Structure 1
Amino acid sequence: MSVCIDITGLPPERIRVVPSPLAELGMALHALSEPGHHPGLQGWATSVTARLRPDLADRLCEADFLWRTTFSDVFAPFAGVPGRRAVPGATLAEELDLLDELTDEQFVLAALEFTCQFRYDTADASPLHDEAVRQRALELALARGTLQERFTRRLLQDPPAVRAWFRQLVEDCEEAFFADIWARVQPQLAADARHKGELLRRKGLAEALAAVSPAVALDDGSGVITVDKLTVGRTATGDGGLVLVPTSLGWPHVMVLHRPGWQPAITYPVSGSGPQAPSVEQLALRLEALAHPVRMRLCRHLARAPYTTSELADAHGMSAPEISRHLGVLKKAGLITTRRRGRYAQHQLELPAVVRLGSDFIEGVLR
Structure 2
Amino acid sequence: MSLTIDITSLPDERLIFTPSPLAEMSAMLHVLGEPAHHPERHGWAASTTASVPPALAERLAEADFLWRSSRADFLVPGIPGATLADELDAVDRIDDEQYVRAALVLTCGASRLAHRITSPLTDPVAQERARELALARGPRQADFADRLLTDPTAVRALVRRMLEDCAEAFFADAWRRVLPDLAADARRKTDLLVRCGAAEALAAVSSSVALEDAGGGRRRIVVDKLQDNATNGAGAGGVTFIPTAFGRPHLVVVHTAGWRPVVQYPLAEDGVPEPVSLAVVQQRLEALAHPVRLRLARTIARGPHTTGELAAAWQLSAPEVSRHLAVLRKAGLLVTHRRGRYMLYRLDLAGSARLGTDLLEAVLR
TM-score range normalised by the length of the shorter chain:
over 0.9
Secondary structure at the counterpart of residue 223 of structure 1? strand
Quick one: which of 146, 150, 163 aligns to 2:143?
150
Partner of 2:49: 49
CA distance in 2, matches of 1:253, 1:305: 36
Name the aligned partner's letter for residue 108 of structure 1: V
Report matched runs for 1:251-262 at 5 Å: 251-262=248-259
Shift of 1:90: 1.2
Partner of 1:238: 234
Q: Is the 8 A contact 1:7 1:223 kept in 2?
A: yes
Shift of 1:342: 2.5
Give 4+ residue runs of structure 1 displaced > 6 Å after superposition. Answer: none
Partner of 2:80: 88
Shift of 1:2: 0.5
CA distance in 1, matches of 2:39, 2:360: 12
Shift of 1:309: 1.1
For residues 78-104 of structure 1, give each alpha carbon's deviation from its aligned partner in whole angstroms, at most 9, with x where no partner exists: 43xxxxxxx201111000011011110
Report matched runs for 1:196-275 at 5 Å: 196-220=189-213, 221=215, 222-239=218-235, 240-272=237-269, 274-275=272-273
CA distance in 2, matches of 1:235, 1:7: 9
Secondary structure at the counterpart of residue 63 of structure 1? helix
Confirm or deny that 1:335 pairs with 2:333.
yes
Secondary structure at the counterpart of residue 211 of structure 2? strand
CA distance in 2, matches of 1:238, 1:214: 23
* More divergent stretch after superposition (336-345 vs 110-119): 336-345
Shift of 1:43: 0.4
* More divergent stretch after superposition (327-336 vs 204-213): 327-336
CA distance in 1, matches of 2:317, 2:117: 58
What residue ranges of structure 2 are gaps of 5+ in the alignment?
none
Shift of 1:152: 0.7
* More divergent stretch after superposition (96-105 vs 213-222): 213-222
Secondary structure at the counterpart of residue 225 of structure 1? strand
Q: Is the 8 A contact 1:218 1:226 kept in 2?
A: yes
CA distance in 1, matches of 2:117, 2:340: 66
Report matched runs for 1:237-316 at 5 Å: 237-239=233-235, 240-272=237-269, 274-316=272-314
CA distance in 2, matches of 1:206, 1:38: 29
Name the aligned partner's letter for residue 316 of structure 2: M
Quick one: which of 98, 102, 111 aligns to 2:94?
102
Secondary structure at the counterpart of residue 117 of structure 2? coil
For residues 275-314 of structure 1, give each alpha carbon's deviation from its aligned partner in whole angstroms, at most 9, with x where no partner exists: 3221110000111111222222111111121111111011
Across the two proteins, how many residue pairs are aligned to each other?
A: 359
Q: Is the 8 A contact 1:200 1:208 kept in 2?
A: yes
Partner of 1:354: 352
Secondary structure at the counterpart of residue 259 of structure 2? coil
CA distance in 2, matches of 1:348, 1:10: 48
Q: Is the 8 A contact 1:16 1:243 kept in 2?
A: yes
Q: Is the 8 A contact 1:123 1:260 kept in 2?
A: no
For residues 164-218 of structure 1, give each alpha carbon's deviation from its aligned partner in whole angstroms, at most 9, with x where no partner exists: 0000000000000000011001111111111111001111111000110000000
Q: Is the 8 A contact 1:277 1:360 kept in 2?
A: yes
Q: Is the 8 A contact 1:7 1:237 kept in 2?
A: yes
* More divergent stretch after superposition (171-180 vs 301-310): 301-310
Name the aligned partner's letter for residue 222 of structure 2: T
What residue ranges of structure 1 are gaps of 5+ in the alignment?
80-86
CA distance in 2, matches of 1:59, 1:305: 55
RMSD, aligned CA = 1.2
Tell me the TM-score normalised to structure 2 length. 0.96
Name the aligned partner's letter for residue 131 of structure 1: P
Name the aligned partner's letter for residue 226 of structure 1: V
CA distance in 1, matches of 2:226, 2:296: 29
Q: Is the 8 A contact 1:7 1:225 kept in 2?
A: yes
Shift of 1:119: 2.0
Q: Is the 8 A contact 1:116 1:140 kept in 2?
A: yes
Report matched runs for 1:3-42 at 5 Å: 3-42=3-42
Partner of 1:67: 67
Name the aligned partner's letter for residue 170 of structure 2: F
Partner of 1:84: none
CA distance in 2, matches of 1:33, 1:233: 26
Shift of 1:348: 0.8
Name the aligned partner's letter for residue 224 of structure 1: R
CA distance in 1, matches of 2:80, 2:239: 12
* More divergent stretch after superposition (203-212 vs 336-345): 336-345
CA distance in 1, matches of 2:275, 2:195: 28
* More divergent stretch after superposition (122-131 vs 211-220): 122-131
Secondary structure at the counterpart of residue 8 of structure 1? coil
CA distance in 1, matches of 2:357, 2:24: 23
CA distance in 2, matches of 1:71, 1:140: 18
Secondary structure at the counterpart of residue 305 of structure 1? coil
Q: Is the 8 A contact 1:307 1:348 kept in 2?
A: yes
Partner of 2:160: 167
For residues 208-229 of structure 1, give each alpha carbon's deviation from its aligned partner in whole angstroms, at most 9, with x where no partner exists: 0011000000014540110011
For residues 104-135 of structure 1, give each alpha carbon's deviation from its aligned partner in whole angstroms, at most 9, with x where no partner exists: 01000111122112221352211011110110
